[in-house]
A = this chain, B = another copy of it.
Amino acid sequence: MRYYNFTAEPSQSADDFFMNEAIKEAKIALSLDEVPIGAVIVSNGTIIGKGHNLTEQLNDVTAHAEMQAFTAAANYLGGKYLKGCTLYVTIEPCVMCAGASYWTQISRIVYGAKDEKRGFSLVKSMITHPKTEIVSGVKESDCALLIKNFFLSKRK
């Protein structure tokens, strides 16, 4: 795994930069015919963990992008907790992934598009850690379009 430092274009915010990296991960999932969701975890401007949805490849419904990224980041840090880190994920985390984020004590979650059916914010109270800041809507349309097109292509 390669780890990137933040080297944004002048016009680009750090959130946009890292959401683009998460979108790259989502596109790897797409290339594998997985539901295209990607995630990166950032500490001090450096990506320390990445993941993309692998539920089909691994035959494991728990193999969501965020779960892979949490485990990768903890391995990288050599500690269980992700205090001070930010999770960037293309789609709003589900209840499982939001529940996992609680245990990591991650400081910030930035997601692109809402998941209106299974997003954790539908059952928001007490799931994420009270110290975790939630940001949504970063590159929202790009993130949503990947999923929308994927399912449209399946229905053809």
Contact = CB atoms under 8 A, between A and B. Distances in A.
Contact of A62 (B94, B98, B103): B103
A142 to B, nearest CB: 25
Counting every copy of the chain, the complex holds 2
A104 to B, nearest CB: 5
Contacts of A59: 74-75, 78-80
Contact of A60 (B61, B71, B94): B71
Contacts of A71: 60, 62
Counting chain A residues whose Cβ lies within 8 A of the other chain, the interface size class is: 20 to 34
Q: Which of A81, A99, A118 has the most CB of B within 10 A?
A: A99
A70 B62 contact: yes
B104 A94 contact: no
Q: Which of A74, A81, A98, A100 has the most CB of B within 10 A?
A: A100
Interface string A57-70: 00111100001001
A61 B100 contact: yes
A80 B43 CA distance: 33
Interface in A110-124: 118, 122-123
Interface string A104-136: 100000000000001000110111000000000
Contact of A61 (B78, B80, B98, B123): B80
Given A74-B59, A74-B60, A98 B100 contact: no
Interface of A: 55-56, 59-62, 67, 70-71, 74-75, 78-81, 94-100, 102-104, 118, 122-123, 125-127
